[in-house]
Amino acid sequence: MKKNIFFILIIFYSFNTISQKRDKTDFLKLQFSIDNKSINYRLLKPYYETTDNVPLVIFLHGSGERGNDNEMQLIHGANFFLKETEKKEFNSYVMLPQCPKNNRWSSHKVDPWVFGHHNKTKDISHYGSLVIKLIESLIKNNNIDSDRIYISGLSMGGYGTFDLVSYRPDLFAAAAPICGGADLELLKNALDVPFWIFHGDADSVVPVEYSQNAFKLLVSKNNKHRYTEYKDVNHNSWDYVFKEEDYFKWMFSKSK
């Protein structure tokens, strides 16, 4: 009888261990520093421990999540990433950096969603550059598959996704900008990186034409790109992207 009770306890303990739910605290709170410059970021490690190299997903937040608390960037998407990466086919690292206030992922001198596309430099932004260096550091120091680096982001992060892939197309296997905008001349550098672009057709913050024009340029050269426009959806198109069954499936199907 005692043996049976012991056996039942072992099974119960094992079940609880396997089915333990993660939450936002599972995103490690970290800071990356290089050349006296630093950036805050959160890192979610693979759900399934493995010695094999696994993909890395980067998600860039919007303007409302800027700051130095290393918390705000988890508002949009964190729960989605926690859930999706518990599926074996999406076992991966997920990294969410945080951009300080009054700065941008893209190389605009001012917020383009407020002031338009003027005042843009051709150099990568300060924090965009730090994100690139952080990605390279993560690849070097973790079991990350350098051929399967995926980047996505919303609003300001959508702009950043276009920009970072345009500056370093060699680094990324796929990109999914959400309600952002692109420097079309710069985007010509990234024609061979598969893009899936998302936007709401009623967006009152970032005009949908910005994504439409980016897609037109991309598909004029090849047909590996996708575009989804949500009818009667305003600026919160990310809420719909996180419900897309193929969002992660599409990205994870890509490799350099």
% of the chain beyond a pLDDT of 70: 91
For each of the domains in the chain, give its residue range(s) and CATH number, in order of start.
Answer: 26-252 (3.40.50.1820)
Order of strands, edge to edge, in the sheet holding 54-60? 28-34, 37-44, 93-98, 54-60, 144-154, 174-178, 196-200, 226-230
pLDDT given at position 117 = 62
pLDDT given at position 41 = 98
Regions of the chain with pLDDT less than 70: 1-20, 116-119
Please spell the DSSP secondary structure of 113-168, one letter per residue: HHH-S-SB-SSPPHHHHHHHHHHHHHHHHTTEEEEEEEEEEETHHHHHHHHHHHH-
pLDDT given at position 118 = 58
pLDDT given at position 109 = 86
Based on its alpha-carbon atoms, the radius of gyration of the chain, rounded to whole angstroms, reads 19
pLDDT given at position 11 = 42
Tokens coding 82: 């926690």
The answer to whether the beta carbons of residues 99 and 32 sit under 8 Å apart is no
Tokens coding 135: 């990605």
pLDDT given at position 37 = 96
pLDDT in tens, 157-174: 999 999 999 999 999 999
pLDDT given at position 153 = 98
Q: How far is CA 172 from the centre of its chain?
A: 11
